[in-house]
Amino acid sequence: DIQMTQSPSTLSASVGDRVTITCRASQSISSWLAWYQQKPGKAPKLLIYKASSLESGVPSRFSGSGSGTEFTLTISSLQPGDFATYYCQKYNSYPFTFGPGTKVDIK
Amino acid sequence: EVQLLESGGGLVQPGGSLRLSCAASGFTFSSSAMSWVRQAPGKGLEWVSGLSVSGDRTYYADAVKGRFTISRDISKNTLFLQMSSLRADDTAIYYCARDLKGTDYWGQGTLVTVSS
């Protein structure tokens, strides 16, 4: 099975900062990658699908890029509601494996 | 409005069984691939099981293969997860989710606690 990794595991940032999270797949998954945001006690929320497509209703400060085995999620200007944990997921085929997550907290 | 409502969680002893249900509404359930995803306390997301659009292909994480069974009842727009031989490390919130664009809709989750 394809393994997913994320870096960093924790990221400390301030409001207004540009934030980048990296996700790597152990084999090529083309562009079949999604990004999720999860806040404590809540279900995950889809942000980006097919590596770079913004889900409806998600602010444009979120963007995704990459293909093959390396992907990035960028938040152009961090807002107070963006402090959360972010997960990538590959979905080219089952199993739809998640990355281990990146927690974005307040510096 | 898409809604996924899980039920059936609770406290069960090691070695026991439990069946989770997920009532779906607001979309064409019979034309949707679905998954169960879990999250152990303080841990990350773990994909558990998936069901194809046609409903005839099932998929499982290695950790649950042979112990869990995913199924659906189209007449009731309901997804199920039958869990048996439960272990302490199965303790988690279990989410039902629709597999479109990755996983675009999630339920609120149901807590399964495996403990004596």
Interface of A with B (CB under 8 A): 1, 33-34, 36, 38, 43-46, 49-50, 53, 55, 85, 87, 89, 91, 94-101
pLDDT at A40: 95
Inform me whether the pLDDT recorded for A19 exceeds 90.
Answer: yes
Chain centre distance of CA B23: 11
Is B101–A95 a contact, with Cβ atoms under 8 angstroms apart?
A: no
8 Å CB contact of B103 and A97: no
The two tokens of residue A9 are: 């595991």
Question: Whole-angstrom Cα distance, residue A37 to residue B43?
Answer: 14
Question: What is the rounded CA–CA span in Å between residue A26 and residue A70?
Answer: 9
Q: What value does the mean pLDDT of chain A take?
A: 97
Contact criterion met (CB < 8 Å) for A94 and B102: no
Q: Give me A1's structure tokens.
A: 């099975």
Each residue's pLDDT expressed in tens, for chain B with a length of 116 residues: 999 999 999 999 999 999 999 999 999 999 999 999 999 999 999 999 999 999 999 999 999 999 999 999 999 999 999 999 999 999 999 999 999 888 999 999 999 999 99
* pLDDT number for residue B95: 98
For A43-100, what is the HEC assignment? Answer: CCEEEEECCCEECCCCCCCEEEEEECCEEEEEECCCCHHHCCEEEEEECCCCCCCECC
Residue of A46, A53, A87 with shortest CB distance to B45: A87
> Chain A partners of B45 at a C-beta cutoff of 8 Å?
36, 38, 44, 87, 89, 98, 101
pLDDT at position A106, please?
87
Output the pLDDT for position A107: 86
At residue A33, the pLDDT reads 98
User: Pairing between strand B18-25 and B3-7?
Assistant: antiparallel
**CA-based nearest distance A3→chain B, Å:** 12
